[in-house]
Amino acid sequence: MKDFLLTRRQFGITAAGIFVTFTLAPELVLSADQPLPGALSGTPMLDAWVLVGSDGKITIFTGKVELGQGLLTALCQIAAEELDVPMSQIKVVSGDTRLTPDEGYTTGSQSIEYSGTALRFACAEARALLLEKASAALGVPANRLKTAEGKILSVDGRKLTYAEIAKTDLLHHRATAKIAPKPASQHAIVGKPAGRIDIPAKLTGLPSYVQDMRMPDMVFGRAVRPPGPRDRLEGVDIATVRSMPGILSVVRDGSFLGVVASREEQAIAAREALQQSAKWRTAGDLPDAANIYTWLKKQASVDEIISEKKSPNAKQVVKRLEAAYTKSYVAHAAIGPSCAIAVMKDRKLRVWTHSQGVYPLRRNLATVMKMNPEDVIVSHVEGSGCYGHNGADDAAFDAVLLAREVPGRPVKVQWMRDDEFAWSPFGSAMVMQVSAGLAADNSIADWQYELWSNAHSGARPGRPGGINLLAAWHLDKPFAPSSPRPVPVPPGAEDRNALPIYDFPNQKIVRHLVKETPLRTSALRALGAYANVFAIESFMDELAVAAGVDPIAFRLSYVKDPRARAVIETAAAKASWKPGFKSDGTKGRGFGFAKYKNIACYFACVADVEIDRKAGGVRVTRVVGAADAGQIINPKGLEMQLEGGMIQSVSWTLKEAVTFDRARVTSRDWADYPILTFAEVPEIEVHLIDRPEERPLGSGEASLGPTAAAVVNAVSSALGRRIRHLPISKEIIKQAS
């Protein structure tokens, strides 16, 4: 903070000089008749987003966080563009409850749309204020001044630096959004490839993740979980563990069991000893995994017709085709298990976490610990892998519970591999049932779609009606989790992308949200879109085959949106798609398309596969994609996001499934939960359609559903039989051969 120009109105520092709290005065709250773009609507002060340091460095603030998606690099590009400074002159502060705006969660591929838009307008207005102040100081009309490299230059050769102009509270100013950002035709930084600002440290082995953090006087903690989701602790030998070397504290609170030790290996040894002596009352009430899809359909559910339309001009239905598709529970499977550090002193709490929502987490922590939220600081530090709501928040609460036992000492809690696989929330299993009424010419006259799923959203910390922290449910006086609630479409959650992008005269889409969750579920990359796009695009292929029409031509006959058509046609052209492809029984081609959430990035792709019928093996050899994400901020960053989604989708589609018996999750290591290896990654191409005059569209999750559909359609074309389940196991291939 030494290089910031701060004002008392922005930041308050306690006598200890440690805890800094961001506050927004009541008179600055946005009124209903003053809408502002993006996240400015929630935090309308310019200096909440951008500050000029005494050394001329620019600091930008965002409530969104880096999860490996290249967000902070893109936000740097946006700010540098509007302020006319090099990216190297910008520092980013993100996800810190002391300093940054409260932007909720970093989710839904919305960061550029909301935080990026706020920064674009804030920086444009900041530049205008700097010019106005310089004009007065130099006695030169603002239209005869220009900005470059963090300086304001006059035609007579005089200049002022941003730092000289911004010595007062110049940017402590309510945003008006009346200053138009630069048009795309003037962009020199936005739209151009930029190296990720976070990559050099990672490549050179510098500390980059919360897992890497080391602090003075730090100690180490571990938690011991029940064997199964609803098991309860009946007894444990704490005395023996307390006598082990280096043990500082053993904590039992109801069914929560944890240990703090001076060294990490001592904490691990104590955890193992506690696991061996613990006696649990086993619930053993999980459904039969083999019948989980039947079980889902039989449970009580919150049902809603999310879309229905009827056209009086629809053709008469002469026949109907039906199909049901299923998807397994899927794990985050982060390479680095969840981790956090917490320190508590004098009833003040500091937490470092890779949570996707530092403010919502703070609210839950303050409630459970019976603290004032202003006495809790939560700071984001990157974690080594995050695709939604994983165990980051739970690890943070573990650290807090253990830090309470050793006041003043930072406690680092690193989850073990079995913790991550068994207790981090999963993406829900799903059932999708679809039917189409066909007219005499084989065109689609009626479309009926139903889905059954556990919740994909609403289980994060900070949601109303409960406390969504794992250990909070195991305490002697437990807290209840919040109840799952439907999310309207768009964007939806379990029903995300359940509305087809295609234009059908009659359609009815029904969502069945199953509240009973045998396994803990929450947000995993793309939410329900991955399964819904797989089902819709698979069925479109089935209908195309029934109609005797090329799959891409069949889709185009139901697409009016010119941007959607352009993406489909680009993917087909770049992949050299030829109608009438016939498989030799081992090679297949498939296609998939969607507009993410029906409001974000368009993505289409063609997948090529090879199958080994005897061994049941599938190899995806090549995937060619095309995308329209509106205005592109960083082309290389966008490519990497889409490529990463394609690779992850191939892994999910071919390999990934959570396994469980009647008592517990059984896929607790890499042997039981394999993922795609480096050698199995297909050749990948991504072709971008830049539309610089359009608004940026969220893209981080756009490629998963279409890639799954393309792979499944390719496998089905090679086999000559339809695959309707994810993942495509060896047994499925053998049975279909």
Please list the helix, strand and coil fractions of the chain in percent, rounded to the nearest 5, in that order: 30, 25, 45
Residue 386 has a pLDDT of 81
Residue 5 has a pLDDT of 29
Asked if residue 19 has pLDDT above 80, the reply is no
Q: How far apart are CA 3 and CA 53, in angstroms?
A: 6
Query: Per the structure block, which two tokens stand in for 142?
Result: 């603002």
Q: Average of pLDDT values for 545-554? A: 96
Cβ neighbors of 440 (< 8 A, separation 6 or more) are 315, 316, 318
Match 């530092």 to its residue by tokens. Answer: 358
Whether the domain at 11-202 and the domain at 430-457+492-736 fall into the same CATH topology: yes
**What is the percentage of the chain residues whose pLDDT exceeds 90?**
91
Residue 33 has a pLDDT of 55
Q: What pLDDT band is residue 77 in, cutting at 50, 70 and 90? A: very high
Q: How far apart are CA 527 and CA 292, in angstroms?
A: 19
Match 């969104």 to its residue by tokens. Answer: 64
Q: What pLDDT band is residue 168 in, cutting at 50, 70 and 90? A: confident
**Of 540, 336, 579, 330, the residue nearest 447 (C-alpha):** 540
Residue 108 has a pLDDT of 81
Residue 34 has a pLDDT of 59
What is the four-CA torsion angle of 10, 16, 18, 20, rounded to 10 degrees? Answer: -20
Q: How far apart are CA 147 and CA 24, in angstroms?
A: 30
pLDDT in tens, 241-298: 999 999 999 999 999 999 999 999 999 999 999 999 999 999 999 999 999 999 999 9
pLDDT in tens, 456-515: 988 999 999 999 999 999 999 999 999 988 999 999 999 999 999 999 999 999 999 999
Asked if residue 9 has pLDDT above 50, the reply is no
What is the four-CA torsion angle of 206, 212, 213, 219, rounded to 10 degrees? Answer: -140
Residue 693 has a pLDDT of 94
pLDDT in tens, 45-63: 999 999 999 998 999 999 9
- Partner residues linked to 122 by β-bridges: none
Asked if residue 8 has pLDDT above 80, the reply is no
Residue 269 has a pLDDT of 98
pLDDT in tens, 443-457: 999 999 999 999 998
Residue 131 has a pLDDT of 95
**What is the percentage of the chain residues whose pLDDT exceeds 70?**
95
Q: Report how far apart the first and last C-alpha atoms of the chain are (Å, whole number).
A: 64
Task: Please provide the DSSP assignment of 375-395 as one string.
Answer: GEEEEE---S--SBS-SHHHH
| 434, containing H or E segment | strand 430-438
Dihedrals φ, ψ of 470, to 5°?
-50, -55
Q: Average of pLDDT values for 123-130? A: 96
Q: Average of pLDDT values for 621-631? A: 98
Asked if residue 1 has pLDDT above 70, the reply is no
pLDDT in tens, 91-101: 999 999 999 99
pLDDT in tens, 28-42: 333 445 589 999 999
Residue 664 has a pLDDT of 97
Q: Average of pLDDT values for 314-334? A: 96
**Average model confidence (pLDDT) across the chain:** 93
Q: Where are the domains of the chain?
A: 11-202, 210-282+332-423, 430-457+492-736
Residue 25 has a pLDDT of 31
Instruction: Name the fold adopted by 11-202.
Output: Aldehyde Oxidoreductase; domain 4 (3.30.365)
Beta strand spans in 232-357 (E): 232-235, 247-253, 256-261, 279-281, 301-309, 319-327, 339-345, 348-353
Q: How far apart are CA 153 and CA 325, in angstroms?
A: 64
Cβ neighbors of 15 (< 8 A, separation 6 or more) are none
Instruction: Name the fold adopted by 430-457+492-736.
Output: Aldehyde Oxidoreductase; domain 4 (3.30.365)
Q: How far apart are CA 326 and CA 324, in angstroms?
A: 7
What architecture is the 210-282+332-423 domain classified under in CATH?
Answer: 2-Layer Sandwich (3.30)
Residue 458 has a pLDDT of 84
Using DSSP's 3-state secondary structure scheme, residue 644 falls into: helix
pLDDT in tens, 393-420: 999 999 999 999 999 999 999 999 999 9
| 537, containing H or E segment | helix 529-547
- Please tell me whether the overall predicted TM-score, pTM, comes out greater than 0.85 for this model: yes
Cβ neighbors of 491 (< 8 A, separation 6 or more) are 108, 597, 599
pLDDT in tens, 692-718: 999 999 999 999 999 999 999 999 999
Cβ(618)–Cβ(728) below 8 Å: yes
Q: Average of pLDDT values for 4-21? A: 29
* Range scoring the smallest mean pLDDT among 198-202, 269-273, 362-366, 605-609: 198-202
Q: How far apart are CA 387 and CA 202, in angstroms?
A: 19
Q: Where are the alpha helices (DSSP H) in 655-720?
A: 704-719
